[in-house]
Amino acid sequence: MSAGGGSDQGRLVRLAETGRAPLTFYFDDEELTALAGDTVLTGILLSVRSLCAAEFGPERRAGFCLMGACQDCWVWQKDGPRLRACSTSLRAGMRLRSTPSARWPEVTL
Amino acid sequence: MTRVLIVGAGPAGIRAAETLAGAGLAPVVVDEGVRAGGQIYRRPPEGFSRPPKMLYGSEANKAAALHALFDGLARQGRVDHRPESTVLGLADGVTQVLGPDGVGPIAYDRLILATGATDRLAPVPGWQAAGVYSLGAAQVALKAQGTALGRQIVLAGSGPLLTLVAAQLLKAGAGVAAVLDTAPMAAQIRGGMNMARARPLVTARGLAVRARLGRRYHAGVTLERIETDPDGPRALQWRDAWGRSRSTVCDAVALGWHLRAETALADLAGAEFEWSETWAQWLPRADAEGRAGGELYLAGDGLRILGADGAEIAGRLAASACLADLGLPVSARNQAHDLRRLARMRYFAEGVARAFPWPSERVRALPDETVICRCEGITAGDVRATLSLSGPEANRLKSLGRVGMGRCQGRYCQLAGAELIAAAAGIAPGAAGRLRAQPPVRPAPISALSRSPKEG
């Protein structure tokens, strides 16, 4: 774990702006460290390789446009609603998930 | 007082706001960013410390001036800034705006859309993998967050952003494995002549940026495929200008072929569109000052891809047109001056379009297994098979084959889809039809729609 969060396993690499206050959050129940001012996408991808699974293919998702246009980077919050990782600021203590935390109710037709 | 709504706080939106505020109107400015600036002059969050020179290079003074201007107008209450807000849809003079507190209406008498652009994407086999990004994403990651998208990044595509992002990443210490430009050198020289005639200094600066890339830069390449494993890109396979097979090891790829105008709201607001051969995309129609009919005005890259300098002028012109239409005084001299400068920007931009062309032939020849729609994994083969049922029309192809139906709403697949339709039917891409925009133009959580914030 390097200063200001992030690790060798992360997809992103921090190049600058390392003087900010650290904060911790949770992704898939793992405690991760990032810096105040990081987006959710930055915070997660500095430590892990992807945000979630693709819905229509075998690949993973890690964002694409980073400007709110492609909708590739939605992640789950532990308490339910999803958020767009590239345009949401990371807050200390956030509990985020790559999958929904509760199973969807089974629907029988 | 006349209610003027500006959508977008990039260079065009900021200059439009300034012009209206100068006439005593207090426009509402709705923008998705936390801080005004748009994408090219995007600002990092509060608490970041790199100076403008480091973030915006030769354009630092322009960026800083726009930021200071807008912050001042907002502070003085001369514009009503609504940050972190998205116009989801509009009808009959009322927009529905998704903000931090939910969705609420903002009504307007006049509407100025300065919605900018996104990267124009051509599919490359393998581009659906995690770790493949747009060129704009590479720039946003660096500028707004101080990060690189990988350790060995390949930048590929064409257009001014390609070499600019590469140089910015190198300067910041990122690993740039290769910069692969699909524009042949001959096209670059032809277009470059126009560019140099219109804006010699800007053209020279572009060449200097290019020179800094050294042997990483290759012109006239063909992108074959991105080799991936479950973790993401491993290498990019390409052919050089002489047809030789090459492979560049990488863990991230950023793709983009210049820009694509963001026109969904213009469409909902009733603008007419035409296929632009120059820009190889659908663009809204407007007069020289940005009037698009009725109470609608368009400015910036969402109207014509003229870049940030052109957007500043277009924003001022659209706001002046709006003032004139309201019967308020405008300076004819300033307007004439802006129109002359805009014409020069347009000549330059047409040179850019010629120098860095959209890879039409390459898209048409994509193998069947190539993913065209990243949202839903729809392949070129799926599209070709659907065309026999849908016929050569983009909206019918969308209904039956779902290209353009996914979350990005066609922003990253529409142009490739048009090429596949055109190739199969033996028609021009402009004859393949234009995907109609549908509200909401961005996804919105149901919870935001069920809350009811104060009237805007």
Cα torsion for B297, B302, B307, B309, to the nearest 10°? 20
Residue of B nearest to A55 (CA): B376
Other Cβ atoms within 10 Å of B450 Cβ, number: 9
Given an 8 Å threshold on Cβ–Cβ distance, is A60 in contact with B230?
yes
Q: Which helix (H) or strand (E) holds B181?
A: strand B176-181
Residue B49 touches partner A, C-beta closer than 8 Å? yes
CA B219 to mean position of chain CA atoms: 23
Residue B170 touches partner A, C-beta closer than 8 Å? no
Q: How far is A76 from chain B (nearest CA, A)?
A: 12
Residue A7 has pLDDT above 90, yes or no: no
B126 is written with which tokens? Answer: 């393998």
Burial, B303: exposed, middle or buried (Cβ in 10 Å; 0-12, 13-18, 19+)? buried
Q: Which residues pair with B86 in a beta bridge?
A: B98
pLDDT of residue B450: 77
What is the residue-wise DSSP string for B291-315?
Answer: B-STTEEE-GGGTS--HHHHHHHHH
Residue of B nearest to A46 (CA): B147
Given an 8 Å threshold on Cβ–Cβ distance, is A89 in contact with B443?
no
Which of A36, A42, A61 lies nearest to residue B147, judging by beta carbons? A42
Residues ≥6 apart with Cβ < 8 Å to B41: B10, B11, B56, B59, B62, B63, B66, B67, B308
Q: How far is A70 from chain B (nearest CA, A)?
A: 5
Question: Which tens digits make up the pLDDT trace of B173-198?
Answer: 999 999 999 999 999 999 999 999 99
Average pLDDT over residues B302-315: 98
Residue A4 — pLDDT band, cuts 50, 70, 90?
A: low
pLDDT of residue A106: 63
Given an 8 Å threshold on Cβ–Cβ distance, is A56 in contact with B377?
yes
Q: How far is B229 from chain A (nearest CA, A)?
A: 9
Residue B456 has pLDDT above 50, yes or no: no
CA distance B101 to B158: 40
Name every residue in A having a CB less than 8 A away from some CB of B: 11-20, 36-39, 42, 46, 49-51, 54-72, 74, 81-82, 86-87, 89
Which of B129, B145, B374 lies nearest to residue A42, judging by beta carbons? B145
Average pLDDT over residues B414-426: 97
pLDDT of residue A53: 95
Which of B45, B146, B150 lies nearest to residue A16, judging by beta carbons? B146
Residue B448 has pLDDT above 90, yes or no: no
CA distance B114 to B263: 9
Residue B259 touches partner A, C-beta closer than 8 Å? no
pLDDT of residue A11: 97
Average pLDDT over residues A13-30: 96
Which of B48, B172, B173 lies nearest to residue A37, judging by beta carbons? B48
pLDDT of residue A8: 79
Who has greater pLDDT, B112 or B450?
A: B112
Show residues of chain A in contact with B174, CB under 8 Å: 13, 15
Rama region for B47: left / alpha / beta (φ>0; ψ in -120 to 50; rest): left
Question: Which tens digits make up the pLDDT trace of A66-102?
Answer: 999 999 999 999 987 899 999 999 999 999 999 987 6
Residue B46 touches partner A, C-beta closer than 8 Å? yes
Burial, B30: exposed, middle or buried (Cβ in 10 Å; 0-12, 13-18, 19+)? buried
Exposure string of B239-274, with b = 16+ CB inside 10 Å and e = fewer, is eeeeeeebebebbbbbbbbbbbbbbbbbbbbebebe
Who has greater pLDDT, A92 or A105?
A: A92
Given an 8 Å threshold on Cβ–Cβ distance, is B118 in contact with A69?
yes
Residue B51 touches partner A, C-beta closer than 8 Å? no
Residue B44 touches partner A, C-beta closer than 8 Å? yes
Residue B32 touches partner A, C-beta closer than 8 Å? yes
B194 is written with which tokens? Answer: 């126009």
Average pLDDT for chain B: 96
Residue B449 has pLDDT above 90, yes or no: no
Which of A49, A57, A58 lies nearest to residue B231, judging by beta carbons? A49
pLDDT of residue B453: 56
Residue B452 — pLDDT band, cuts 50, 70, 90?
A: low
Given an 8 Å threshold on Cβ–Cβ distance, is B442 in contact with A68?
yes
pLDDT of residue A1: 45
pLDDT of residue A80: 79
Q: How many CB pairs under 8 A join A and B?
A: 141
| Of the candidates B225, B248, B144, the residue with the CA atom closest to the CA atom of residue A12 | B144
Residue B423 has pLDDT above 50, yes or no: yes
Residue B268 — pLDDT band, cuts 50, 70, 90?
A: very high
Average pLDDT over residues A30-55: 97
Show residues of chain A in contact with B131, CB under 8 Å: 11, 49, 62
CA distance B408 to B375: 7
Residue of B nearest to A6 (CA): B147
Question: Which tens digits make up the pLDDT trace of B272-297?
Answer: 999 999 999 999 999 999 999 999 99
Average pLDDT over residues B233-256: 98
Residue A108 — pLDDT band, cuts 50, 70, 90?
A: low
Residue of A nearest to B228 (CA): A59
CA distance B244 to A85: 40
Average pLDDT over residues B91-95: 97
Show residues of chain B in contact with A20, CB under 8 Å: 47-48
pLDDT of residue B446: 84
Given an 8 Å threshold on Cβ–Cβ distance, is B376 in contact with A15?
no
CA distance B192 to B158: 14
pLDDT of residue A107: 64
Given an 8 Å threshold on Cβ–Cβ distance, is B39 in contact with A67?
yes
Residue B233 — pLDDT band, cuts 50, 70, 90?
A: very high
Residue A105 — pLDDT band, cuts 50, 70, 90?
A: low
pLDDT of residue A36: 97
